[in-house]
């Protein structure tokens, strides 16, 4: 049977195997409310799960690619199957005099697994949120609009959305996990939601895309701030735990695209370093940086001793410790010093075949130093595309771009466009 006949009748060729029951094509003539009701029931009982990518690509891939961002609703999400699981972690002795030889688990992560009605992309996306946040960042916006998860589900991507270890639904275990801290509301206003009011860096005044005024007392801001949770203080500890849990996740699900944001930017590189055959691409939304030293917000202390990570990476020529990485100062300005490896730079050999997209908004503090982070990667042999949103006609965004008014425009014109060019 030809593809156009398949689209007309709604019946798969006999040589293919559908995960949908044979009676579903007849549902096309049923009233819309009945179709939705039955589809929901099927989701509950696990009747539909994942259509094999080969079938989707052969039958409906072109239709999926042609879906435009305008098809997505701000209030009605995309039909999908939701489940969750935990992965990673280890048992540790539990000090309880009344229960000898007992143990508790720590370091595991909660993973929300979203599967669209039709999986049309061969690789899933693993989404890792930033500091103080949870996986809910990608589900919907603080004012109730659909989020990036709906966009990518609509494009046929299977999604795995994490809560970082020792945070939110990934439990923090007293006596095992390190101390935590939380952002106060003023810090959130200054850095993320109302940067234009404070002008703490040169481009801050360009921020226009946050919904609402971005200040305490505004309904949207209050909704966002109430979603913020305590995070581990130590970036070394969070890096080690997220790397280990991320490795366990990739070993479970197989090859994937890894999407990081902000703090979790420093986790994507070690994941690819540890599993270069499983991380097929990294999309880094304003990743933590710059190399070797903090910037913009005091104290401007030494950080990320392996360049963009707190944990060791595999370099060539090899190193025994971070002190083997010789550095040079490339440029210096108020609150930011760009430091790179001394030339010739050692190579991040396990990342050489992992394509990377770095995305920087027009008004975020990352506009100051993301180019320095990108240059570190390129000198280390990593293939990086760096998109400054204003250069492609997308203006006014800040650090939380996936929550802002034009979030689908970014996902469609930048992220998915880049992915479609490569896979």
Residue 282, classed as helix, strand or coil, is strand
Report yes or no: 246 and 326 within 8 Å, Cβ to Cβ: no
Per the residue annotation, which of 238, 262, 361, 363 is the catalytic one? 262
Helix (H) / strand (E) containing 115: strand 102-116
Tell me the HSE value of 234 on the side-chain side, using a 13 A CA sphere.
13
Cα gap 16→7, rounded to integer Å = 14
CA distances from 89 to 44, 249, 255, 323 (A): 29, 11, 21, 30
Tell me the HSE value of 203 on the side-chain side, using a 13 A CA sphere.
19
CA distances from 15 to 10, 11, 399 (A): 15, 11, 48
Instruction: Dig out the tokens for 330 from the structure.
Output: 């490339």
Report yes or no: 19 and 50 within 8 Å, Cβ to Cβ: yes
Active-site residue flag, 262 = yes
Active site amino acids: 262
């Amino acid at each position: 049977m030809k593809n156009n006949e398949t689209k007309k009748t709604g019946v798969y060729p006999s040589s293919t195997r559908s995960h949908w029951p044979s009676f579903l094509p007849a549902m096309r003539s049923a009233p819309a409310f009945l179709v939705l009701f039955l589809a929901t029931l099927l989701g509950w009982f696990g009747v539909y799960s994942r259509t094999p990518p080969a079938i989707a690509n052969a039958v409906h891939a072109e239709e999926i690619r042609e879906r435009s961002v305008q098809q997505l609703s701000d209030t009605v999400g995309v039909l999908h199957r939701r489940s969750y699981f935990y992965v990673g972690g280890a048992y540790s002795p539990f000090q309880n005099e009344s229960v000898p030889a007992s143990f508790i688990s720590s370091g595991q992560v909660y993973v929300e697994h979203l599967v669209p009605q039709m999986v049309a992309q061969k690789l899933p996306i693993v989404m890792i949120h930033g500091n103080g946040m949870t996986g809910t960042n990608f589900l919907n916006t603080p004012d109730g609009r659909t989020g990036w998860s709906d966009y990518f589900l609509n494009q046929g991507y299977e999604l795995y959305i994490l809560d970082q270890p020792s945070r939110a639904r990934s439990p923090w275990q007293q006596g095992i996990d390190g101390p935590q801290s939380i952002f106060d509301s003023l810090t959130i206003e200054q850095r993320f939601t109302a940067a234009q009011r404070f002008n703490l860096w040169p481009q801050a005044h360009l921020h226009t895309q946050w919904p609402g005024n971005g200040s305490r007392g505004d309904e949207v801001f209050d909704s966002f701030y109430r979603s913020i949770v305590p995070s581990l203080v130590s970036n070394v500890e969070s890096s080690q735990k997220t790397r280990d849990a991320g490795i366990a996740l990739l070993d479970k699900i197989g090859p994937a695209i890894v999407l990081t944001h902000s703090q979790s930017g420093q986790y994507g590189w070690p994941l690819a370093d540890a599993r270069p055959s499983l991380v097929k691409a990294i999309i880094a939304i304003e990743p933590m940086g710059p190399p070797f030293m903090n910037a913009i917000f005091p104290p401007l202390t030494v950080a990320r001793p392996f360049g963009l990570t707190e944990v060791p990476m595999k370099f060539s020529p090899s190193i025994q410790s971070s002190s083997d990485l010789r550095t040079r100062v490339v440029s210096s300005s108020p609150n930011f010093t760009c430091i790179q490896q001394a030339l010739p730079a050692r190579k991040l050999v396990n990342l050489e075949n992992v394509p990377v997209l770095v995305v920087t908004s027009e008004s975020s503090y990352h506009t100051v130093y993301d180019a320095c982070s990108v240059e570190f990667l390129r000198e280390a042999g990593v293939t990086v595309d760096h998109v400054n949103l204003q250069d492609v006609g997308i203006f006014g965004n800040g650090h939380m771009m996936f929550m802002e008014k034009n979030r689908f425009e970014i996902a469609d014109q930048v992220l998915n466009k880049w992915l479609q060019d490569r896979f």
